[in-house]
Structure 1
Amino acid sequence: MRRSNQDLIPGLGGRGVTPRAVSDAFDPTRLTQARRLAGMTKKDVSGHLSVTAAAVGQYETGASKPRPDLIPRLAEVLDVPTTFFLTGRPAHRLDASMAHFRSLRSTPKAQRERALAFAEQVWELTYALEMRVQLPLVNLPGFAGGEVHPGEELPGEPAAAARELRRLWNLGDGPVTHLVRRMESHGIVVVLPSSADGSASSVDAFSSRAPRPLVILTANRADDVYRHRFTAAHELGHLVLHGDATGDSRQEREADAFAAEFLTPQASILPQLPRRMDLTQLATLRRTWGVSIHSLIYRCRELGLISDATISRTYQRLRALDGQPGFTSEPVSSFSGEQPALLRKAFELAGQDSGLSINKLAHELAWKPDRVRELLGVTDQRPVLQLIRTS
Structure 2
Amino acid sequence: MTRAFFPSSLEIARLRRKLTSAELSKRSGVSTRELRRIFAGEVEPSPESVEAIARALDYPVGFFYSGDLAMPAAATFRALGSMTKMEAGAGKASAALGARLSDWLEREFDVPEPSVPDLTGTEPEQAAQMLREMWGLGERPIGNLVRLLEAKGVRVFSLSEETLRLDAFATWLGARPFVFLNGVKSAERSRFDAAHELGHLCLHRDDQQGKQVEDEANRFAAAFLLPQGDVIARRVFPTLPNLIASKSRWGVALSALVHRYQDLGLLNADRAKWLYIEMSRKGYLKNEPRPMARETSAIWTQVLQSLWTERRNVRALSDSLALPADEVESLIFVSWDARQSETSIQRISGRANLKVIGE
* TM-score between the two structures when normalised by the length of structure 2: 0.84
SS, match of residue 137 in structure 2? coil
Equivalent residue number for residue 172 of structure 2: 209
Q: How big is each residue's C-alpha offset from its partner over 1:231-269, in whole Å with a ceiling of 9 and x where there is no partner?
A: 111111111111023321111111111111111111221
Task: Say which one has the larger Rg.
Answer: 1
Given residue 215 of structure 1, which amino acid in structure 2 is its aligned partner?
A: V
Q: How big is each residue's C-alpha offset from its partner over 1:127-170, in whole Å with a ceiling of 9 and x where there is no partner?
A: 0121111101212111xxxxxxxxxx477111111111111111
Given residue 317 of structure 1, which amino acid in structure 2 is its aligned partner?
A: E
Judge conservation of contact 1:100–1:208 (CA < 8 Å) in 2.
yes
Q: 1:198 to 1:258 in 2, by over 3 A?
A: closer
Q: CA deviation at 1:29?
A: 0.6
Equivalent residue number for residue 57 of structure 2: 78
Once residues 234 and 209 of structure 2 are traced to their aligned partners in structure 1, the CA distance between those partners, rounded to angstroms, is: 34
Say yes or no: does 1:100 pair with 2:79.
no
Higher relative contact order (CA 8 A, sep 6+): 2
Once residues 64 and 198 of structure 2 are traced to their aligned partners in structure 1, the CA distance between those partners, rounded to angstroms, is: 34
The correspondence for 1:237, drawn from 189, 193, 199, is 199
Judge conservation of contact 1:201–1:219 (CA < 8 Å) in 2.
no
SS, match of residue 26 in structure 1? coil
Judge conservation of contact 2:29–2:52 (CA < 8 Å) in 1.
no
Equivalent residue number for residue 354 of structure 2: none
Once residues 320 and 59 of structure 1 are traced to their aligned partners in structure 2, the CA distance between those partners, rounded to angstroms, is: 55
Judge conservation of contact 1:138–1:186 (CA < 8 Å) in 2.
yes
The 10-residue stretch of structure 1 (362-371 or 289-298) with the greater mean CA deviation from structure 2? 362-371
Q: CA deviation at 1:179?
A: 1.3
Given residue 310 of structure 1, which amino acid in structure 2 is its aligned partner?
A: R
Judge conservation of contact 1:118–1:199 (CA < 8 Å) in 2.
no
Given residue 61 of structure 1, which amino acid in structure 2 is its aligned partner?
A: A
Judge conservation of contact 1:192–1:339 (CA < 8 Å) in 2.
no
Q: How big is each residue's C-alpha offset from its partner over 1:23-78, in whole Å with a ceiling of 9 and x where there is no partner?
A: xx211111101111111010101112344434322211212233332221111000
Say yes or no: does 1:286 pair with 2:247.
yes
What is the alpha-carbon root mean square deviation over aligned residues? Answer: 2.9
Say yes or no: does 1:345 pair with 2:302.
yes
Judge conservation of contact 1:136–1:186 (CA < 8 Å) in 2.
yes
SS, match of residue 191 in structure 1? strand
Say yes or no: does 1:163 pair with 2:119.
no
Once residues 233 and 312 of structure 1 are traced to their aligned partners in structure 2, the CA distance between those partners, rounded to angstroms, is: 25
Structure 1: gaps (5+ residues):
1-16, 143-152, 383-391
Say yes or no: does 1:310 pair with 2:245.
no
Equivalent residue number for residue 141 of structure 2: 175
Judge conservation of contact 2:72–2:172 (CA < 8 Å) in 1.
no
Given residue 346 of structure 1, which amino acid in structure 2 is its aligned partner?
A: V
Equivalent residue number for residue 216 of structure 2: 254
| Number of residue pairs aligned between Structure 1 and Structure 2 | 336
Once residues 187 and 266 of structure 2 are traced to their aligned partners in structure 1, the CA distance between those partners, rounded to angstroms, is: 26
Equivalent residue number for residue 120 of structure 1: 96
* TM-score between the two structures when normalised by the length of structure 1: 0.77
Q: How big is each residue's C-alpha offset from its partner over 1:164-190, in whole Å with a ceiling of 9 and x where there is no partner?
A: 111111112121111111111111111
Judge conservation of contact 1:133–1:349 (CA < 8 Å) in 2.
no
Structure 2: gaps (5+ residues):
343-359
Judge conservation of contact 1:39–1:110 (CA < 8 Å) in 2.
yes
Q: CA deviation at 1:101?
A: 0.3
Q: Percent identity over the alignment?
A: 29
Once residues 131 and 313 of structure 2 are traced to their aligned partners in structure 1, the CA distance between those partners, rounded to angstroms, is: 37
